[in-house]
Amino acid sequence: MKKITSIDLFAGVGGMRISLQRVLNRLHLKDECKLYSEINSYSRQTYDLNFPQTPLIEDIKSVKKNEISYKIPDHDILLAGFPCQPFSRAGISKRKNLNRSHGFDDKDQGDLFFNILDILKAKKPKAFILENVQNLKTYQNGKILDEMIKKLSKYYYVPKPQVLDAQDFGLAQRRKRIFIVGFLNFNGKFNFPEPTFKKTIIKDFLDFYPPRKYIISDLLWNSHQKRRIRNKIAGKGFGFRLSYPTDKATVTISARYYKDGSECLLYRGVGKNPRRLTPREVFRLQGFPESFKFKVSDLQAYKQAGNAVPINVVEKVCLNVVNYLNQSKKYQKKVA
């Protein structure tokens, strides 16, 4: 049985890994993840519960350029859903308010792209799949994305990155993400997956009997409603958003959902207080299977689910990437 090896950088709780694993299983290919890197201890707790005994490097920045050759194992596919905060709208405005740099200039997270680039240069895996927020496409008028592609293209065939929306791939959540893929060998034009447009509604992802603790209190519900009136008078945004179980999709559920869930409160009927999604429901809206385990607090579980990739989308991207690697080698030529 042919084997495909991978490394899972900025792994979170392993959304990209689950996606690739599903594809390899379906294609009867053996799957081996040789390393994961995740700096957050709570995320690692969940990752280890689902993927025990995977070799780990906590902080990818701890690997110096000259150490990559022996600290990072050889692999076929590099997966990296790298941190989006330096490029996301919310992250940029938060950094501006704090007088901090954003984008590549954010020395904490913005330059992590260069760590990925160094690993690609040194290890030359056959392919890579990177994921980030769609704002990366327009951030600084697309200059940063162009720069990334230019650097990657020195060594890889990099087709035009594509923004894909989870709600077009059978998940009842609006979540647009940009995908950047690359191949060491050019083997004809790569096509990103077409949407499946599988029809779903929010209700398909909800618990039958959600615990009552997720219903918001009278105090919070009243304050939400008052804030909405104040915002309306001041001509400001919504304050909170009510979603109906029959709606096609929720808004993007972010890692901040744990705060008060105001971006997505579920309607429960006339005169009833709405409720928050449960952590399991958020994982479901990201395409995680029921068998996925987590034993962290609700706060951490919301953060982990909100930070994750939409699995249905990544799975389709992985399928096209693996098929591209496996297709006839007739046209294959080295890019660099």
Ligand X SMILES: C[S@@+](CC[C@H](N)C(=O)[O-])C[C@H]1O[C@@H](n2cnc3c(N)ncnc32)[C@H](O)[C@@H]1O
Which positions from 51 through 70 interact with ligand X, judged by CB under 6 A?
Answer: 59-61
Q: Does 308 bind ligand X (CB under 6 A)?
A: yes
Of the listed pieces 79-87, 172-180, 267-275, 291-299, which binds ligand X according to CB under 6 A? 79-87
Q: In the complex with ligand X, which residue's Cβ is closer, 141 or 291?
A: 291
Closest separation in Å from C-beta 186 to ligand X:
27
Q: How many residues bind ligand X (CB under 6 A)?
A: 21
Query: Mutual orientation of helices 311-326 and 15-26 as an angle, nearest 10°?
Result: 50
CA gap 136, 84 in Å, rounded: 8
Q: In the complex with ligand X, which residue's Cβ is closer, 45 or 223?
A: 45
Which positions from 1 through 40 interact with ligand X, judged by CB under 6 A?
Answer: 10-12, 15-16, 37-40
Q: Is 127 helix (H, G, I), strand (E, B) or coil?
A: strand
Closest separation in Å from C-beta 276 to ligand X:
21
Q: Indicate which single residue of 4, 33, 81, 187 sits in contact with ligand X (rule: CB under 6 A).
A: 81
Q: Does 106 bind ligand X (CB under 6 A)?
A: no
Asked if 264 is an active-site residue, the reply is no
Q: Is 190 helix (H, G, I), strand (E, B) or coil?
A: coil
Q: Indicate which single residue of 6, 21, 43, 262 sits in contact with ligand X (rule: CB under 6 A).
A: 43
Q: Indicate which single residue of 166, 264, 309, 322 sits in contact with ligand X (rule: CB under 6 A).
A: 309
CA gap 126, 1 in Å, rounded: 19
Q: In the complex with ligand X, which residue's Cβ is closer, 62 or 332?
A: 62
Which positions from 141 through 200 interact with ligand X, judged by CB under 6 A?
Answer: none
Q: In the complex with ligand X, which residue's Cβ is closer, 84 or 172?
A: 84
In the sheet that holds 30-37, the strands lie side by side as 56-57, 30-37, 3-9, 77-80, 127-133, 176-183, 162-165
HSE on the CB side for 215, CA within 13 Å? 11
CA gap 144, 138 in Å, rounded: 9
Helices (H) and strands (E) in the chain, counts: 11, 12
Where does residue 37 rank: exposed (0-12), middle (13-18), buried (19+ CB within 10 A)? buried
Residue type, 11: A
Applying CB under 6 A, the residues found at the interface with ligand X are 10-12, 15-16, 37-40, 43, 59-61, 81, 83-84, 109, 112, 307-309
Active-site positions read 84
